[in-house]
């Protein structure tokens, strides 16, 4: 289909008035990345790589040319003014490539970004639950898991959908059952648990996070152990949120003003989460189910973000950022 026909179809499909509204959107367009670079032969979850260095560089260049790229400290004032299209680059989890790959690119373009770190992953340096499940799938000597209390049917580990199924199951569990689930996977697959040395160099050190802070990047919290917060009772949520704030204060001498919800779907946080965030003094909390947050419907504890994933080429990236309510909808895959 040529461009003119495509445009005509688009107008017909969305409706002319709606399309004008889509073009004229105003608000905060927050994009979310996890890892930058090339997964190569990594045994960890390949879905976490959001862009190659080259793609990330091209995306930053495009954003810088077409948007006001802002930091989280600007958003309250911009929201009060209620006008303009502002873009915010964010990263979740605290992977070392954020420091080694993304930070130099951001610095070269002189643009700000916001990095959310899970304090316990930085402290311990061991594999996260999603990377450990990916590691088990890749290394297990037994290539099929029998049906069990965890999965209603056998799972062939060579099936391309196996990892997504196992991650989805983890996310559906009450937090109290997650450790038993990982042990069961380790045992039935024959992989055992991921040894700490397999995760060496995966996470930033606090020294690296401090260097990014000093280089003008904003740092926010992402809990201690990266649980789905809504699966914890209020006390458990408070421990994860306040515990992360304590570590940021101790290591970075920063209050935890910004926060992102692990997993980040609509069901991953609740009223108790919001209460704990308020108590901890958090000013903005970011979700992760697509779309953007318009200044008219502002919710400081649900600033929506769009997932950027490796298969998004520059033309799709342009479409997503130009018409986020059309192309930046709900995420389909299961990253964290």
- The least distance separating Zn ion from the CB of residue 11, rounded to whole angstroms, comes to 38
Return the number of the residue (229 or 254) whose C-beta is nearest Zn ion: 229
Contact 277, 301 (CB under 8 A): yes
- The least distance separating Zn ion from the CB of residue 336, rounded to whole angstroms, comes to 4
45 binds Zn ion, rule: CB under 5 A? no
Return the number of the residue (268 or 336) whose C-beta is nearest Zn ion: 336
Among 85-93, 212-220, 288-296, 304-312, the segment contacting Zn ion (CB under 5 A): 85-93
Q: Which residues pair with 115 in a beta bridge?
A: 91, 219
- The least distance separating Zn ion from the CB of residue 152, rounded to whole angstroms, comes to 27
Return the number of the residue (188 or 260) whose C-beta is nearest Zn ion: 260
Return the number of the residue (92 or 97) whose C-beta is nearest Zn ion: 92
Q: How many residues bind Zn ion (CB under 5 A)?
A: 4
SS3 (DSSP) at 328: coil
131 binds Zn ion, rule: CB under 5 A? no
Distance CA 143, CA 156 (A): 6
93 binds Zn ion, rule: CB under 5 A? yes
Q: Where are the beta strands (DSSP E) in the chain?
A: 27-33, 35-36, 49-51, 68-69, 85-93, 114-117, 144-145, 155-156, 218-221, 258-260, 284-286, 293-294, 305-307
Distance CA 251, CA 295 (A): 33
Q: Which of 165, 129, 155 shows the shortest CA–CA distance to 333? A: 165
Near Zn ion in 94-113, by CB under 5 A? none
Q: What distance lies between CA 189 and its chain's CA centroid?
A: 28
92 binds Zn ion, rule: CB under 5 A? yes
Return the number of the residue (57 or 302) whose C-beta is nearest Zn ion: 302
Return the number of the residue (37 or 264) whose C-beta is nearest Zn ion: 264
Return the number of the residue (157 or 263) whose C-beta is nearest Zn ion: 263
What is the sign of the dihedral through the CA atoms of 320, 321, 324 and 330? positive
- The least distance separating Zn ion from the CB of residue 259, rounded to whole angstroms, comes to 11
Q: Which of 47, 53, 59 shows the shortest CA–CA distance to 102? A: 53
50 binds Zn ion, rule: CB under 5 A? no
- The least distance separating Zn ion from the CB of residue 63, rounded to whole angstroms, comes to 22
Near Zn ion in 12-41, by CB under 5 A? none
Contact 114, 220 (CB under 8 A): yes
Distance CA 78, CA 73 (A): 10
- The least distance separating Zn ion from the CB of residue 295, rounded to whole angstroms, comes to 26
- The least distance separating Zn ion from the CB of residue 139, rounded to whole angstroms, comes to 23
Near Zn ion in 250-279, by CB under 5 A? 262
Widest CA span of the chain, in angstroms? 59
In the complex, the residues that contact Zn ion under the rule CB under 5 A are 92-93, 262, 336
């Amino acid at each position: 289909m040529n461009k003119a026909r495509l445009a005509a179809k688009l107008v017909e499909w969305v409706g002319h008035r709606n399309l004008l509204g889509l073009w004229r959107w105003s608000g905060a367009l927050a994009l979310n990345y996890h890892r930058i670079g090339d997964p190569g032969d990594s045994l960890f979850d390949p879905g976490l790589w959001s862009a190659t260095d080259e793609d990330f560089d091209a995306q930053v260049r495009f954003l810088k040319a077409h948007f006001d790229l802002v930091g989280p400290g600007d958003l309250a004032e911009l929201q009060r003014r209620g006008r303009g299209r502002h873009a915010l680059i964010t990263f979740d989890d605290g992977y070392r490539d954020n420091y080694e790959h993304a930070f130099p690119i951001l610095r070269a373009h002189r643009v700000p970004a916001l990095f959310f770190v899970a304090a316990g992953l930085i402290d311990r340096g061991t594999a996260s639950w999603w990377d450990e499940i990916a590691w088990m799938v890749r290394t297990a000597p037994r290539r099929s898991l029998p049906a069990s209390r965890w999965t209603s049917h056998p799972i062939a580990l060579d099936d391309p959908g196996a990892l997504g199924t196992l991650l989805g199951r983890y996310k559906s569990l009450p937090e109290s059952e997650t450790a038993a689930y990982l042990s069961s996977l380790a045992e039935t697959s024959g992989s055992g648990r991921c040894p700490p040395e397999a995760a060496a160099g995966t996470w930033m050190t606090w020294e690296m996070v401090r260097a990014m802070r000093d280089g003008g990047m904003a740092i926010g919290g992402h809990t201690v152990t990266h649980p789905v917060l809504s699966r914890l009772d209020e006390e458990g949520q408070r421990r994860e949120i306040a515990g992360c704030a304590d570590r940021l204060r101790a290591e970075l001498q920063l209050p935890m003003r910004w926060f992102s919800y692990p997993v980040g779907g609509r069901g991953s946080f609740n009223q108790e989460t919001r209460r704990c965030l308020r108590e901890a003094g958090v000013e903005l909390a970011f979700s992760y189910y697509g779309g953007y947050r318009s200044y008219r419907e502002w919710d400081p504890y649900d600033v929506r973000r769009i997932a950027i994933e490796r298969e998004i080429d520059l033309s799709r990236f342009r479409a997503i950022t130009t018409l986020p309510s059309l192309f930046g909808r709900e995420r389909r895959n299961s990253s964290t």
